[in-house]
Amino acid sequence: MTEEAPKSAYELAMERLRKQDAEQGIERTPLTEAQKAAIAEIRNFYHAKLAELELLHHGTRATTADPAEFASLEQDYRRDRERLMGERDRKIEKIRSH
């Protein structure tokens, strides 16, 4: 018998995913240091952009009394936030795939 510690649910799930990837012919290569640095830079940039967007949104929202305008501001905020997160994710995926 081996003296290995029991595996966590996370470790078991990751093993199953790696096995599925291998069966489907998907090959994952480790990221280079340059890729890791580029991804970190992108995440920092978009983290700052999202924080800026949130601050502006809270400032504008505080001055709005009209419920229709408030709802419009909320919708615009969600749309802009999703757009920024989508841009961030696409850029990160582009780096991972190269």
Q: Measured on CA atoms in the order 68, 60, 62, 84, is the torsion positive or negative?
A: positive
Band (82; pLDDT cuts 50, 70, 90)? very high
pLDDT (0 to 100) of residue 2 = 58
Task: Provide the token pair at 37.
Answer: 């640095």
Task: With beta carbons less than 8 A apart as the criterion, state whether 42 and 95 touch.
Answer: yes
In percent, the amount of the chain with pLDDT more than 70 equals 97
CA distances from 1 to 4, 5, 6, 11, 93 (A): 9, 12, 13, 20, 42
What pTM was computed for the model? 0.71
Query: Among 31, 45, 36, which residue's Cα sits nearest to residue 88?
Result: 45
Task: With beta carbons less than 8 A apart as the criterion, state whether 89 and 42 touch.
Answer: no
pLDDT (0 to 100) of residue 90 = 97
